[in-house]
Chain A
Amino acid sequence: MQKNAINGLDEILFVEIPEGSVILVTGAEGTLKSGLAFSMMANHVAANDEHALYVTLEQNSESHLRNMNSLGIKKGSNLHIFDYRDMRYEWMNSELDLIKMTEEVIDSYKDKYEDLTLFALDSLNALYSISEHDNMRNIIYDFFSHLRDKGLISFLIMESDRSSISGQFSQFHQTEHYLADGTIELGMIEGKGGVKRYIQILKMRATKHAMEKHQLTIDENGISIRGPIY
């Protein structure tokens, strides 16, 4: 994925993200997790004539698109949105394994579009909340492997706070952080000039990146990354 997929991304990402990378996009609510992932995907596929798939479990596609439009992010025809609304309603009396379904959905789009290179899931938390598996660690390991095998750069959105004391992610989500190739954290920080949004790459395997928190801004042209926040 190109390091200029959004304005200023090259401030924090010095080389391109390798294909097959599974990247967590974490942060509290309202920190632009969905907007960042969607924006990077939309810009990348528009510039490279590739295809991308955004799977939303939290909202239906119309509602998601309304939100993205309000952020100044345009979809483009090569960015496909899949939501589970119709499937879940029509099969409400059946038990659906949504992790397996998501793998099948990816495979179907990959069959249709060989140049499908990017995938996003919004969100892992929602997937967990409606999936019932005894051994979630193994399931997630297999799911991540599936994404890598497909050669996709995957953004898995996950609402997750770090402890302000230990800096550790909650125990519940440590498996994902361990298994993922990268973690992008979004957050808000209060300073003299008021509350600012920030982005920080905590980890990105095989990719040179900045460690500092950088300011994340949003205006009518979409999302941009500015200089270091301190």
Chain B
Amino acid sequence: MNTSVENVPDLCESQEDCCKKFVDRIIKTNREIFIMLSLLEKQMCGYDIIKEIFSRCDVFLSQGTVYPILYTLEEEGMLHAEYSKGDMRSKKYSLTPRGREAAEKDVEDFAKALEQVSFLVKR
């Protein structure tokens, strides 16, 4: 499965107001997957990740819910963090090989789970 961010449906265009609250809840509850999904493409800082998810999904993940995940994923060896050259304050994150493998599997499982839920509620 290609887990590129480009393949994620553009929720901003497709979702309607009535389903927004569910999309919002799903993304907030599973924010770790969306954070790792963002990092599959390129290295980013916390600010970039929040902006990226907002522009793609129309969901604002607050800073207090994103930075702890970045810190714990770094502790677990899923993310590598480095400060930008010439700017010791901007910390950019990228997936480690183990993190990439886990992210790709989680994204695939998550997509399957959503399909399953979709099937269950429509039958």
A-side residues, CB < 8 A to B, are 77, 80, 82, 85-87, 89-91, 96, 100-105, 107-109, 112
- Give the docked Cα–Cα distance between A101 and B62 (Å): 8
Report whether B45 and A90 are in contact in the complex, using a CB–CB cutoff of 8 Å.
yes
Given A86-B90, A86-B91, 9 further pairs, Cβ under 8 A: A87-B46, A89-B90, A101-B62, A103-B64, A104-B62, A107-B64, A108-B64, A108-B68, A112-B68
A104-B75 in contact given A89-B90, A90-B90, A91-B47 (Cβ < 8 Å): no
> What are the 6 A-B residue pairs with the smallest beta carbon separation, nearest first?
A104-B64, A108-B68, A90-B47, A101-B64, A89-B89, A86-B91
Q: Describe B's contact surface by its main secondary structure.
A: helix
User: Size band of the B side of the interface?
Assistant: 10 to 19
- On whether A82 and B45 interact (CB within 8 A), knowing A89-B89, A91-B63, the answer reads no
With A86-B46, A90-B46, A112-B72 known as contacts, the answer to whether A105 contacts B67 (CB < 8 A) is yes
Q: Which of the residues A77, A101, A109 comes within 8 Å of B63, measured between beta carbons?
A: A101
In the complex, what residue of chain B is closest to A98 when comparing beta carbons?
B64
A142 vs chain B, min Cβ distance (A): 15
Contact partner, B71, options A82, A96, A100, A107, Cβ 8 Å: A82
Collect the chain A residues with CB atoms within 8 Å of residue B64's CB: 100-105, 107-108
The answer on a CB contact under 8 Å between B72 and A87 is no
Interface positions of B from 7 to 52, Cβ below 8 Å from A: 45-47
